[in-house]
Amino acid sequence: MSARGLFITMEGGEGVGKSTNLDFLERLFKDNGVEIVTTREPGGTRLGEDIRELLLRVRDEPVHAVTELLLLFAARAQHIAELIEPALADGKWVLSDRFTDATYAYQCGGRGVDRAVVEQLENLVQGTLRPDYTLLLDAPVDVGMTRARNRGELDRIEQETMAFFERVRQGYLQQTQTQGDRYRIIDAGQPLVDVQKGLTAFGNEVLARWTQSRAEL
């Protein structure tokens, strides 16, 4: 039986360069012989991608914070059951563009949802599943929002205020205080080559720890 794979997540506010950096990290792991599944939240399954579309489409009615929260966890439950758990059990690594840290940052930090409510849903939906490592790409809100705006039309969440995204950023930074040792923070405001130096160091650290833990078995 193969050892359980690693679950790695990438987080950050809008326009911090998650897609480019996720591709870079995926390549680094693949080049080192890791079988890796790359996915995203909300999404990752057909049902999850439908829920993503519902969540991000601009609407002419307000979306209640609890409605948004439950949709996110509904997509997450499907994602875990259909994709994440089977891949990890099969010894594959899973690299996800966002996971529950985003809920603490956006729904708790941004929308003001009580953390205890999210903790309950996290335990219900995830059981003991938590990421092994989380990379937080952190950049000043104006830097990220300028990039997001240059990408084209803004979705429902991207249309939030700068104050909302400032709370999201603080929410992420606060998250790194909760389960400190799984987080690595990279300054995403620096030039891409420096961000990617940080990613390489992170990837190599994860690979070295993995090799060491295999040797100890």
Interface residues toward ligand TMP, by CB under 6 A: 40-42, 72, 97-98, 102-103, 106-107, 157-158
State the minimum distance, in angstroms, from the CB of residue 38 to ligand TMP: 13
**Residue whose entry in the numeric block shows the structure tokens 């084209």:** 152
Select 97 or 138, whichever has its Cβ closest to ligand TMP.
97
- The two three-digit tokens of residue 95, written as one number: 């690299």
Select 42 or 198, whichever has its Cβ closest to ligand TMP.
42
Cα–Cα distances in Å, from 48 out to 40, 80, 119, 190?
9, 10, 21, 33
- With CB atoms as reference, the residue minimizing the distance to ligand TMP is 106
State the minimum distance, in angstroms, from the CB of residue 101 to ligand TMP: 8
| Cis ω for the linkage preceding 191 (within 30 of 0) | no
* CA–CA dist 112, 152 (Å, integer): 28
Select 103 or 175, whichever has its Cβ closest to ligand TMP.
103
Q: Helices (DSSP H) in 10-155: which residue ranges?
A: 18-31, 46-56, 65-79, 85-89, 100-102, 115-126, 141-150
Closest CA to 30 of 85, 79, 90, 92: 92
Report which secondary-structure segment, H or E, holds 12: strand 7-12
* CA–CA dist 99, 95 (Å, integer): 10
Phi, psi of 203 (to 5 degrees): -60, -45
Select 119 or 205, whichever has its Cβ closest to ligand TMP.
119
State the minimum distance, in angstroms, from the CB of residue 108 to ligand TMP: 10
State the minimum distance, in angstroms, from the CB of residue 87 to ligand TMP: 18
State the minimum distance, in angstroms, from the CB of residue 197 to ligand TMP: 23
Select 102 or 136, whichever has its Cβ closest to ligand TMP.
102
State the minimum distance, in angstroms, from the CB of residue 169 to ligand TMP: 12
Select 108 or 199, whichever has its Cβ closest to ligand TMP.
108
